[in-house]
Amino acid sequence: MKTLKALYIGLAATALAGALSSCQADMDAPALVEPKATMVPNTTILELKNTFADQTLQCPMKDESSKTPYIIHGRVISSDATGNIYKSIVIQDETAAIALSVNQGSTYTDYRLGQEVVLNVTGLYVGYYNGLQQIGWLGEYKGAKSLTFMSWSYFLEHSELNGFPNDDVKYVDQNSTWPSENPYCIVTSFSQLPSTGDGFRQMQSQLVEFRNVSFKEGGKDTYAPYQESVNRTLVDANGATLIVRTSGYSNFYNEMIPEGTGNVRGILSYYGEDWQLLLRGLGDVMITDKGQKNDPYTIAEATEVMDQGASGWVKGYIVGSVKAGVNDVESNNDVIFGKDAEMDNNILIAASADETDWSKCIAVELPQGSAFRASVNLVDNPGVLGKAIIVKGNLVTFLGMPGITGNGGTASDVEVDGVTIGGGGDLPGPGEGIPNGDGSEAKPYSASQINAMTTANGTNLYTGVWVTGYIVGYVDTGIKSYAADESAKFTVPAAVATNLLLANSPDEKDWNKCISVNLPSGSDARAQLNLKDNTGNLGKLLLIKGNVTRYVGLSGVKEPSDFRLGEGGGDTPNPPATGSTIYEGLTLNANDWDMNNAQAPTGIKVWQWDSKNTCLKGAAFANSKPNAADVTCISPVFSIPVSGAELDFQYVFNQYKKNNEMINVADFSGYAYILIREEGSSSWTDLAEMKAQGFAWTPWYDAKYSLNNYSGKSIQIGFRYVSTDEVAGTWEIKNLKVTGSK
């Protein structure tokens, strides 16, 4: 069969029109011919990939008796216009994406972004080229069967164009329902990329975008040497890395890689045992210093990029707050300009201190229980009205208006003129918090300050400065050479003596809030500080002098030249004081939680961390339908050393529909449970069955449960999500905290 192609009117036609304008006055312009495919798709891309998983073979008939072939369709998401993608056309449908290996260049002229392609796969080969599943022809790689290029004529015989290109790209989260009518770009993170199973096949060849990332080679190297393909390194906010494969034959090979942080998109390829990102061109690299602390967004700039995945620092002035009971601001009647605030969970900031127009403001979320809320909310701190502020967070809609959410709530995440976030003295004791400093011995940098000093390439930010924090753990470099969920340890004795983790709190268990300390071999610092030989140092306050740089994937201190070991710690850590925090999580990430998605339906991740809305999200609505699931998300183990312990968190339920109608709140039963079990136990006890108070994304409801029966025990909390093939909504949870008193 012949491929039907659209008639594209080019520059030559435009020039000719100018030359012959007098002659063409009475002539009709030729109509564009829209290609129409005659083949009808009967298989999704994911179905095809799963059917022929781990095989390389010539695709058979789907039904031999009726001679029905496998027919797929998808929209083009790749482009070889810049020369960085070579002899490949990548298409995606509503389920997955796949690369078509074709022996032809400059295919972008007919196969443009958003062009729908219908492909008869029967007779072509489906298989792998060094780990990447694709469609092509049979070849050989290192003595084994492998995919190679199909001939261009054979591809044309098996394919048809359908309609004009639709280049309106939709941006969706990895766990969202993906559109069928538009090309789409999946907003994801390094940690979300699967390594096995249906999810692995589903993500191969997808158009993806990673946000808040930087190039290790930024400002130092070009994308590639001339006529040489090389790996460049993308680094995320946690220090994790991803290969960016770039060709020296591309038309941008000699461009300098930009320095700074931002968003990078491309085709998610795979080679050997590694994910690789293929840039389609320089337009896929959106790196800038804008939003960094040295170049914060203005109010106008931040408003312009709302809900586009942007995050960073914003500067302004505190002018008011949103009224109590308002979920969606629509006018000045919904806000209070001035100090007479009704709510302590938000403030309004604007470009000038005397602003009184809500549409020129940004609402800032003040995290529950944070130093930020305690020091800046207008209910308790009316004196901050009119003060200059610079604050870091995600630029998303909050309370129905442009907002900033996801702030860490510490002194490293916000600065207000004349206000000390968190308070404390120059030499705080355990649990009192650590104030910001200037790097001197008298006023050392806090761990949270150092944590904010990200440097992906390891260059020293400061040399010979003093830093202080509590010793809370170490990185087991025998597991991984960098900090991660499995390598960051908060117990003693340590497996290695090479490093420490410091934090602003002696109870910190989130490695993302820690900094690293290098303990060089043969040094006094290693001999006296390491947790392998000095277990009693856990929880002690450390004052140390060294160079601020990158170490084991974190901002940290290397080459220590002096140190002081302070109070706290001991072989048996002291129990928490009255009302103190035993465990805190689900604020910035869920790195220490087990999503346990093995119980989920095939190809569906029920539990995931929603980085945009900074919450844990359970949802089994996928592929445009509800799916039956019973999946539990499990907390890390933590101890309850005191009586009177309580579990607190915030939650919302939404989209619990049956036959497209929201179910009644009274009928919400059997869909959500809180579970509890002692360490080592394989069975759970129901702590409570969750009841819905409403179905909306706001307001967030507060939940509180007693853990008094578990004092003196080590436990885990579980959130059990249950759905059916008729009802599968969304359950979101954030700001979980366990507190206790003696």
Tell me: the pLDDT tens digits for 336-373? 999 999 998 999 999 999 999 999 999 999 987 678 88
HEC-encoded secondary structure of 152-181: HHHHHHHEEEECCCCCCCEEEECCCCCCCC
Q: What is the C-alpha to C-alpha distance for residues 557 and 466, in angstroms, rounded to an integer?
A: 9
3-state SS of the chain: helix, strand, coil percent to 5? 10, 40, 50
* Residues, the chain: 742
Q: Are 389 and 349 in contact (CB under 8 A)?
A: yes
Which of 73-77, 278-282, 580-584 has the lowest average pLDDT?
580-584
Residue type, 625: K
256-267 core/surface letters (b: 16 or more CB in 10 A; e: else): ebbbbbbbbbbb
> For strand 730-740 and strand 580-585, is the pairing parallel, antiparallel, or unpaired?
antiparallel
pLDDT at 515: 93
Distance between first and last Cα of the chain? 80
Question: At residue 641, does pLDDT exceed 50?
Answer: yes
pLDDT for position 597: 73
Tens of pLDDT, residues 216-261: 998 889 999 999 999 999 998 777 899 999 999 999 999 999 988 8
Q: What would the two tokens of residue 285 be?
A: 């690299």
* pLDDT mean over 364-386: 87
28/26 Cα distance (integer angstroms): 7
Confirm if 321 and 378 have CB atoms less than 8 A apart: yes
CA distance 213 to 261: 5
Lowest model confidence (mean pLDDT) among 256-265, 380-389, 519-528, 589-598: 589-598
- Residues near 583 by beta carbon (within 8 Å), at least 6 away in sequence: 509, 635, 636, 638, 736, 737, 738
Helix (H) or strand (E) holding 262, with range, is strand 261-271
Residue 185 in tokens: 């770009």
- What pLDDT shows up at residue 23? 46
C-alpha span between 311 and 659 (Å, rounded)? 37
Each residue's pLDDT tens digit, 570-629: 443 333 444 567 788 888 788 788 887 767 777 788 999 887 778 999 999 887 788 999
Q: Which of 53, 62, 44, 229 is nearest to 128 (CA)?
A: 53
| Distance (Å, whole) CA 426 – CA 502 | 18
H/E element holding 140? strand 132-141
C-alpha closest to that of 6 among 164, 158, 117: 164
With a cut of 60, say whether residue 46 has pLDDT above it.
yes
Q: Are the C-beta atoms of 293 and 390 separated by less than 8 Å?
A: yes
Task: Convert the pLDDT of each residue in 495-522 to its tens digit.
Answer: 888 999 999 888 889 898 899 999 987 7
Contacts of 199 (CB under 8 A, 6+ apart): 603, 605
Mean pLDDT, rounded, for 193-203: 89
φ/ψ of residue 722, rounded to 5: -125, 135
179 prior amide bond cis, ω within 30: no
Model confidence at 17, in pLDDT bands (50, 70, 90)?
very low
pLDDT score, position 1: 38
| pLDDT value at 637 more than 70 | yes
What proportion of the chain, given as a percentage, has pLDDT over 90?
49
pLDDT of residue 346: 95
Angular region, 398: left φ>0, alpha ψ -120 to 50, beta rest: beta
Residue 697: pLDDT band (50, 70, 90) is confident
Task: Give the pLDDT of residue 273.
Answer: 86
Average pLDDT over residues 396-407: 92
pLDDT the model gives residue 661: 86
> Taking 80 as the threshold, does the pLDDT of residue 433 lie above it?
no
Backbone angles phi and psi of 33, in degrees to 5 = -95, 115
Amino acid at 66: S
